[in-house]
A and B are shown apart, each in its own frame.
Chain A
């Protein structure tokens, strides 16, 4: 009958602003919460992660290299996810986050080892998550020593005594000093946006229903998609304020570098903001009361904190937890933000996380529209 109307959407949009302005407490919460969390979470949470994805770049194959690799893959610290001989490929694996470690065995390694020249093994660690890289790096030394001790028998036994016949050079990438705030603060951006935006839109419809105003809305020609967009869009602005706040604090208070592409960052953040608003809105189509909506928001919020890679390194989680994590918008957002802020990534590097987020957004919006009840029964 009557089609989508931009005028009606605008009416709902401005109505939300009027109400937001009157509801100072909520608005203060939306702005105050990021500040509080930033300060609270500025400190790190420590643990000893395992099963970190590692890539090996073998420029020259040989007995010792293989023995060392075997030792690496047997250790619980590393999972070898790729082998390559090309330096460019190795670099790409690191930047896209597929590998948290890159282990490079240079040319002429065996020859120089036999000659007793103490050749170098280069380990690049993705230190954007210093907690994740710390334990694993120290494990490498031990693994290498044992692997070589086994092989250096017979005529080569003279090479075995300490010091080790080779040198391991550890290169912490992206966050050389291993500062935890580098990891926590970008992650916090994701947590803040998830928490506040999901919560605020989760009561979008339940509040109208509880106050009885839903009956008025439904008695007018408003369409479900107009209500959906009109009621969520105002909070894009709130999201933008929060992002500006956190990024400013990150760069001034915590001196976190911003090395990536700003437009791509804005794109990623926008997509994530939309996704959270839709997630909340979907909750609001399911919940029967504001109280219920809050409870459901917490139900979403908990895995978002624990299984997204915010609290614990994602790669070190069991497969089922990673599976849940992949379905959470924040997981993809965290990866993108760390890659963008700390690693100087561009569009190509974050593509792996951009499209899953877009799919989650589309699925959430579709579900919310399907769930929307056009009548009071």
Chain B
């Protein structure tokens, strides 16, 4: 089984003083998959990614990344992994081309000029090659960072919130790119806070307080979380929301534009709660499948109890 797993680690634990940033975490990422890594701020996503690529030494745990021992063979892992940091971490006082050339040389690649040229083309950076990285806008910086971590054609991409602060068009381009890499057999572990990105992943792991709460193929998540949802629309949404939130059986009410999504784990109680507002003038209700977003809001709301 582990033959197909690019990341296969268990029991990963990292402590910073009294804080356990990552606690007994296991990750199984199959080859070619896009693996989404979700969780609130400070939940340990960056820390986990850093342990996987050998930038942090785990306090406990074992396993293999690309077939190499994650504890002892970080040099071999680094040579085959592309890591895009959460914070832009290329040289702002060097041009796009200089940055790419520098990184390419560190991997001792052949035909550096050709490679840099292709990478500039591929990511649409060619026209700006001579521009200093520090002068680029956020979206362009992201592109450069992705180009840099791809330059040595890694088999595993670790992307830490690669699209934070990037406009929707650039984000879509970015994901098209990732999808293309995936089709070529590149495995991707990507952390994100965006639901529209999460749904594009093949698998999703959700962590909170350093613990993994959920790990499943994306389309099974809502079912696994065991949620039911209704759509409620009508005049005076605020009053409606208040009434619903107070009703038994409703876990939470989320507002989407001009409608409310009413979510709960207890199917029967939820149905009764929604029925109770149906009689109000102009209100329409409709049963809908629970989506990812509902699942994560619910997970986050439940997280503290689940962990403690």
Contact = CB atoms under 8 A, between A and B. Distances in A.
Interface of A: 1-2, 5, 7-8, 10-12, 14-15, 18-19, 22-23, 211-222, 375-377
A226 to B, nearest CB: 9
B75 interface: yes
Determine the main DSSP class of A at the interface with B: helix
10 contacts: A14-B102, A19-B91, A19-B93, A22-B93, A22-B94, A212-B89, A216-B90, A219-B53, A220-B106, A221-B79
Given A18-B94, A23-B93, A376-B55, A219 B78 contact: yes
A18 B50 contact: no
> 9 tightest CB-CB pairs across the interface, nearest first?
A11-B105, A212-B89, A1-B75, A220-B106, A219-B83, A22-B93, A216-B89, A15-B102, A221-B79
Given A8-B106, A219-B55, A376-B50, A211 B92 contact: yes
Nearest to B78: A221
Interface string B83-108: 10101111111100010001101111
A215 B79 contact: no
Contacts of B50: 376
A23 B57 CA distance: 35
B54 A8 contact: no
A377 B57 contact: yes
A7 B92 contact: no
B85 A216 contact: yes
A11 B101 CA distance: 9
B80 to A, nearest CB: 10
B78 A213 contact: no
Contacts of B89: 211-216
Contact of A375 (B57, B83, B94, B132): B57
B106 A213 contact: no
Given A1-B73, A213-B89, A377 B106 contact: no
Given A18-B94, A212-B89, A2 B79 contact: yes
Given A15-B94, A18-B94, A219-B83, 6 more contacts: A1-B73, A11-B102, A212-B85, A212-B88, A216-B90, A375-B55
Contacts of A214: 89
A117 B106 CA distance: 81
